[in-house]
Amino acid sequence: MTMSLPTPSIAPPDVIRCAYAELVVTDLAASRAFYVDVLGLVVTHEDADTIWLRAFEEYLHHSLVLRRGDVAALGVIAYRVRSAADVDVAEEYYRQLGVPLERRPAGTTRGIGDAVRIVDPLGFPVEFFYDAEHVERFTRRYDVHGAGAISRLDHFNVATPDVPFARSYYEQLGFRVSEDIQDEDETVYAAWMFRKSTVHDVALTGGDGPRLHHIAFATHERSQILHLCDHLGALRESDKIERGPGRHGVSNAFYLYLRDPDGHRVEIYTHDYYTGDPDNPVVTWDVHDNQRRDWWGTPVVPSWYTDASLVLDLDGVPQPVVARSDDRESDVTIGADGFSYTRKGDTDTGFKLGAQV
């Protein structure tokens, strides 16, 4: 059963894009080795407990915060809004939705101005901010890029037990759907939703939640993703490669999924397509289509469907995880590659992985 939300009396804040994530990590040195030494993210600032990172094209203070803690989890995902006034709008909007909320004065998070942090109706810690400290943009600093250069944060992917509810919540917040996955009964299994003019700022994946499925960074070229694979192989750390490299059906992007030292999943992604026109067509994939998740038909590893990161509430306590249950679904779930086909009407050529749900 899909829940419904009250409709606030004011318009939602004008969200520009996904902006940064904070991950709680248990071994800061190990995480630094992964994110700085392998992925090549730029350290804007660091102290004994926290590292603030950005990619080469980013001029805001950070797009990723690594904070030392006892339990590996998502601390927050943050969206940038269009103006300082939109932070006030966000506060009023979420007060009317009745969710946990805190106003965070400038500097509560280093490099970030006045902000509102909430637990959204899906159970995720989410921040809205406009003001942020500017730092050097390394776009033309080819002397430090390296062969696996990551250019910017691209999107978040969140696991939630009720995708139709999550989709309606984000649509009310002003996000639009670029692509989704449905079955023949129009049950939605996953949806890709955007504010910036790409395929997504946030993807909604059906599964036990609230959990963070992954954060994704963009590169300019496929060669940079392949170099990251070679780099991990040379370090004898190929076990950090979970899935890929490959070509997505959804979004058409070239992808690689990595697991950081705590198991947080990071996607490296290049790249999708422009979606900014008002009549941008929605692409709907059949949940049985073997090429939706991988255009070459490569099976998805089971851990990709089962594993995800806990998320914290505003007091830093892990949110309870609710099992996915949607009685409108058939015995197929989003992970059911056992039922996939490559050509519609062909039930024999798909991969049969058994009960991978």
Distance CA 80, CA 196 (A): 11
Nearest distance from C-beta of residue 192 to Fe ion, angstroms = 9
CB environment 246-282: b (16+ within 10 A), e (fewer): bbbbbbebbbbbbbbbbebbbbbbbbbeebeeeebee
In this complex, which beta carbon is closest to Fe ion, that of residue 187 or of residue 205?
205
CB 284 within 8 A of CB 47: no
Query: Strands across the sheet with 265-270, in order?
Result: 241-247, 254-259, 265-270, 211-218, 152-160, 202-206, 188-194, 176-182, 283-286
Q: Which helix (H) or strand (E) holds 304?
A: helix 302-306
Binding segment toward Fe ion, per CB under 5 A, in 29-37, 39-47, 262-270, 281-289:
262-270
Return the closest-CA partner of residue 292 out of 356, 254, 249, 347: 249
Under rule CB under 5 A, how many of the chain's residues touch Fe ion? 3
Distance CA 292, CA 294 (A): 6
Nearest distance from C-beta of residue 95 to Fe ion, angstroms = 31
Q: Does 272 bind Fe ion (CB under 5 A)?
A: no
Q: Does 267 bind Fe ion (CB under 5 A)?
A: yes
Q: What character string, x for contact with Fe ion (CB under 5 A) and - otherwise, covers 147-176?
A: ----------x-------------------
Nearest distance from C-beta of residue 259 to Fe ion, angstroms = 14
Nearest distance from C-beta of residue 130 to Fe ion, angstroms = 25
Nearest distance from C-beta of residue 269 to Fe ion, angstroms = 6
In this complex, which beta carbon is closest to Fe ion, that of residue 165 or of residue 257?
257
174-233 positions binding Fe ion, by CB under 5 A: 216
In this complex, which beta carbon is closest to Fe ion, that of residue 272 or of residue 337?
272
In this complex, which beta carbon is closest to Fe ion, that of residue 93 or of residue 192?
192
Q: Does 44 bind Fe ion (CB under 5 A)?
A: no
In this complex, which beta carbon is closest to Fe ion, that of residue 220 or of residue 271?
271
**φ and ψ at 264, to 5 degrees?**
-60, 140
In this complex, which beta carbon is closest to Fe ion, that of residue 190 or of residue 312?
190
In this complex, which beta carbon is closest to Fe ion, that of residue 32 or of residue 259?
259
Nearest distance from C-beta of residue 250 to Fe ion, angstroms = 9
* Close Cβ partners of 269 (under 8 Å, ≥ 6 residues apart): 154, 155, 216, 217, 218, 219, 253, 254, 255, 256
Residue ranges that bind Fe ion, judged by CB under 5 A: 157, 216, 267
